[in-house]
Amino acid sequence: MRVLKNYLYNLSYQLLVIVLPVITTPYITRVFSSNDLGSYGYYNSIVTYFILLATLGVANYGTKEISGHRKNVQKTFWGIYSLQVLATCLALVLYIATCLLIPSMNNLIAYILGFSLLSRGLDISWLFQGMEDFKKITVRNTAVKLLGVASVFIFVKKPSDLYLYIILLVVYDLLGQLSMWLPAREHIGRPHLDIVYAKRHIKPVILLFLPQIAISLYITLDRTMLGALSSTTDVGIYDQALKLVNILLTLVTSLGSVMLPRVANLLATGDHKAVNKMHEVSFLIYNLVIFPIMVGMLIVNDDFVQFFLGQDFQDARYAIAIMIFRMFFIGWTNIMGIQILIPHNKNKEFMVSTTIPAILSVGLNLLFLPKLGYVGAAIVSVLTEALVWGIQLFYTRIYLKEVTILKPMFKIVVASGLMYTILLYLKTSLSFSPTLNVVVYAILGVIIYLVCILVFKVVRLKELKEQLSKK
């Protein structure tokens, strides 16, 4: 029952994450220009590198360790968190030095975003993930998100409020992290640092930190390089397209944070059969969600962008049409990397799977961005994720031998293809306003897809419920 409960908690929050940007993005993209939001996206991409250093790859490692050492949570937590504190202090020093020494970083947006480092340093959500206590995470995040959104609508009114908008984002992120410390006391006791015990965690944390650097390179570097090689306007368009795709991705990636501690705990008990069933369920759920979303977005892309984003961001539809294919690769790597390689302590393999694509993405960005701008960035992002997928598939093939994937996936692909064909045919004769088009075709798409899934008998609901309901 724990997996199902945690997934529902996490899914409810992820749905909130989807709904809120749907409300705020049309407002924000009409208050600020693509150049304004591009400037924010550019400096935010730079801050991301320092945030990466501040968190030191602790999230996945901490979740796995807490899950595997629940009888000694306090000592394990403070040993790992001590590394996070030291890393945060180092990141803050380096970031301040960067802002002072590099002229282009001498910008108010850069200084405001620097406070994000404090938020990351205080982030202990991995503790609750490891304890499989997703209720506290969900309640905290929901409350903070709602307050943040309300504040944006109340206080952000005109283009000159850009700095205020960024301050609100940073402040509410910080409040969210602080709010977790009170319920954490029952698990971690009185605050203290344990540098001696922290030493034993350095090597495995570093092994996970290196892939995080690599992942950041191909996820964030595109916006940094786009701002340097093209323009902040291109960054703004690309950033909005990326956000829309990421909103859809939250539907599938939410499962990964739930499954990681469960798989780690099952491996600790030696129940490999149950682990295989968990992987099977993960692939089924991911594929069930990913393929219809990809197909549906291709159908409504133009209409969606037209009503959702301001006039300054209409070109985002070209980037979305390309980047939507990232969903398949990211969905699968979320299983192969987070749910298989990391719990099996294949940290080196995980590092290789992210490092090689990251290095190649730098070269591809240098080649594509000057001429193709945000379109080039979109193409590179898909190619990079595809390479990560290919390498991780190679490393996880031995663990996937007893996991049924292809047969149900084939049925899902056929169902999605039929949905696309029918909707494309209807689109030639059935057209409304952009907003109504999105609503109508979304509803029709869901109905067609569900009918196909039932006809093809893709899902056995009883078996799926039994698997997710296991303690």
pLDDT of res. 339? 81
Q: How sure is the predictor about 224, in pLDDT bands with cuts at 50, 70 and 90?
A: confident
Quick one: how far is CA 386 from the chain centroid?
A: 16
- Which comes out higher in pLDDT, residue 90 or 34? 90
pLDDT of res. 424? 92
pLDDT digits (tens, 9 = 90+) for 292-318: 999 999 999 988 888 888 677 888 899
pLDDT of res. 411? 94
pLDDT of res. 15? 65
pLDDT of res. 171? 92
Q: Are 212 and 57 in contact (CB under 8 A)?
A: yes
pLDDT of res. 76? 85
Q: Looking at the predicted structure, is the pLDDT value of residue 465 above 70?
A: no
Q: Looking at the predicted structure, is the pLDDT value of residue 325 above 90?
A: yes
pLDDT digits (tens, 9 = 90+) for 161-182: 999 999 999 998 898 888 888 8
Q: Looking at the predicted structure, is the pLDDT value of residue 10 above 70?
A: no
pLDDT of res. 420? 95
Evaluate if pTM is beyond 0.85.
no
The domain total for the chain is 1
What is the rounded CA–CA span in Å between residue 459 and residue 161? 49
Q: Looking at the predicted structure, is the pLDDT value of residue 4 above 70?
A: no
pLDDT of res. 379? 94
Q: How sure is the predictor about 462, in pLDDT bands with cuts at 50, 70 and 90?
A: low
Q: Looking at the predicted structure, is the pLDDT value of residue 258 above 70?
A: no
Domain boundaries, position 457: 2-468
Q: Which residues contact 192 (CB under 8 A, 6 or more apart)?
A: 78
Mean pLDDT of 213-238: 78
Q: Looking at the predicted structure, is the pLDDT value of residue 447 above 80?
A: yes
pLDDT of res. 308? 80
pLDDT of res. 12? 67
What is the rounded CA–CA span in Å between residue 52 and residue 210? 10
Which H, E and C letters describe the chain, residue by residue?
CHHHHHHHHHHHHHHHHHHHHHHHHHHHHHHCCHHHHHHHHHHHHHHHHHHHHHHCCHHHHHHHHHHHCHHHHHHHHHHHHHHHHHHHHHHHHHHHHHHHHCHHHCCHHHHHHCCHHHHHHCCCHHHHHHCCCHHHHHHHHHHHHHHHHHHHHHHCCCHHHHHHHHHHHHHHHHHHHHCCHHHHHHHHCCCCCCHHHHHHHHHHHHHHHHHHHHHHHHHHHHHHHHHHHCCHHHHHHHHHHHHHHHHHHHHHHHHHHHHHHHHHHHHHHCCHHHHHHHHHHHHHHHHHHHHHHHHHHHHHHHHHHHHHCCHHHCCHHHHHHHHCCHHHHHHHHHHHHHHHHCCCCCHHHHHHHHHHHHHHHHHHHHHHHHHHHHHHHHHHHHHHHHHHHHHHHHHHCCCCCCCCCHHHHHHHHHHHHHHHHHHHHHHCCCCCCHHHHHHHHHHHHHHHHHHHHHHCCCCCHHHHHHHHCCC
pLDDT of res. 13? 64
pLDDT digits (tens, 9 = 90+) for 392-427: 999 999 999 888 889 999 999 999 999 999 999 998
- Between the CA atoms of 58, 64, 66 and 68, what dihedral angle is there, to the nearest 10 degrees? -150
Residue 189 to residues 74, 185, 195, 370, Cα–Cα distance (Å): 7, 5, 17, 53
pLDDT of res. 265? 67
pLDDT of res. 313? 84
Q: How sure is the predictor about 14, in pLDDT bands with cuts at 50, 70 and 90?
A: low
Average pLDDT over the chain, rounded to an integer: 83
What is the rounded CA–CA span in Å between residue 36 and residue 109? 11
- Which comes out higher in pLDDT, residue 151 or 52? 151
